[in-house]
């Protein structure tokens, strides 16, 4: 494309297209005369679009470029989709293994903690039994020392997996029942931002409704259908 053609495009956009864009922000129809004027202006705008296309072939060139892009995209997909598929499947396999390892490490830590507490309880019971025997013998000081030893806090020894052996477990969620999810939102258990309203689906639902009907949280309104 030559510099002259670029300058011509710029001039058409600045002198004919931009004024329409500026008018777009303040369009309003207050009577039939204004409606007819705007109707004719819309017709002229569509004719302008046709003239621009005949002169610069924007849509035609776009279609040609799209065909080239599609051919390149197909070639890209043939080359990269198998690679990406392998990488994604491999990542899932690793994630599955790492999750199992992390769960195993957590279970081992819980078992180790339970074992430690059990051993502490047994040791405390042993010292208390020994103290009771010393009391029976009249060795009060020794019994008190044993009881003090039994009540002394023990150093907590927690199980820690070797560095790099496991990944951190993160909790995520899947929706199993939309109605129950909505109830959790109403109850305040989950934020409303987990839902996304699809305007197209909402309008399909509203199509057969009367604008006078009332629905909590929904406003029905009317617009003129069809092209002018």
Q: pLDDT (tens digit, 9 = 90+) per residue, 105-149?
A: 888 888 999 998 999 889 889 888 888 888 888 888 888 888 888
In eight-state DSSP terms, residue 226 is S
Q: Which domain holds residue 188?
A: 177-222
Q: Evaluate whether residue 194 is within a structural domain.
A: yes
How far apart are alpha carbons 55 and 209 in whole angstroms? Answer: 47
Q: Evaluate whether residue 198 is within a structural domain.
A: yes
Is the pLDDT at 160 greater than 80? The verdict is no
Q: Evaluate whether residue 138 is within a structural domain.
A: no
Nearest to 194 by CA among 211, 180, 210: 180
How far apart are alpha carbons 110 and 162 in whole angstroms? Answer: 16
In eight-state DSSP terms, residue 193 is G
Overall domain count for the chain: 1
Is the pLDDT at 7 greater than 60? The verdict is yes
Whole-structure pTM value: 0.47
CB contact at 8 A, 162 and 105: no
Q: Evaluate whether residue 190 is within a structural domain.
A: yes
pLDDT above 90 covers a percentage of the chain that reads 29
Q: Kindly state the average pLDDT of the residues 157-176.
A: 69
How far apart are alpha carbons 99 and 90 in whole angstroms? Answer: 14
Give residue for tokens 């129809």: 29
* pLDDT value for 6: 85
* pLDDT value for 178: 87
Is the pLDDT at 62 greater than 80? The verdict is yes
CB contact at 8 A, 158 and 115: no
Q: Which residues have C-beta within 8 Å of that of residue 105, sequence separation ≥ 6? A: 159, 161, 165, 166
CB contact at 8 A, 213 and 220: yes
Nearest to 158 by CA among 121, 123, 109, 114: 109
Determine phi and psi for 175, rounding to 5 degrees: -85, 125
Q: What is the CA radius of gyration of the chain?
A: 38
Per the DSSP assignment, residues forming a β-bridge with 218 are 215
Cβ-defined contacts of 219-222 (< 8 Å, 24+): none
Q: Evaluate whether residue 62 is within a structural domain.
A: no
Q: Evaluate whether residue 27 is within a structural domain.
A: no
Q: Evaluate whether residue 212 is within a structural domain.
A: yes
Q: Evaluate whether residue 193 is within a structural domain.
A: yes
């Amino acid at each position: 494309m030559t510099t002259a053609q670029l300058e011509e495009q710029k001039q058409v956009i600045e002198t004919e297209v931009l004024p329409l864009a500026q008018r777009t922000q303040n369009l309003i129809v207050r009577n039939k005369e204004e409606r007819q004027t705007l109707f004719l202006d819309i017709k002229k705008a569509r004719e302008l679009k046709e003239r621009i296309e005949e002169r610069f072939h924007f849509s035609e060139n776009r279609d040609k470029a799209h065909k080239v892009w599609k051919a390149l995209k197909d070639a890209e997909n043939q080359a990269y989709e198998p690679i990406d598929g392998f990488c994604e499947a491999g990542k899932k396999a690793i994630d599955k293994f790492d999750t199992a390892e992390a769960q195993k490490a957590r279970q081992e830590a819980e078992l180790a903690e339970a074992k430690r507490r059990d051993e502490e309880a047994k040791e405390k019971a042993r010292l208390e039994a020994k103290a009771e025997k010393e009391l029976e013998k009249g060795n009060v000081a020794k019994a008190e020392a044993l009881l003090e030893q039994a009540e002394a806090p023990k150093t907590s020894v927690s199980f820690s997996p070797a560095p790099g052996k496991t990944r951190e477990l993160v909790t995520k969620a899947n929706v199993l029942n939309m109605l129950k999810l909505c109830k959790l939102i109403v109850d305040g258990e989950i934020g409303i931002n987990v839902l996304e309203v699809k305007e197209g689906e909402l309008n399909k639902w509203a199509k057969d409704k009367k604008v006078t009907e009332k629905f909590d949280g929904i406003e029905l309104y009317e617009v003129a259908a069809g092209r002018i």
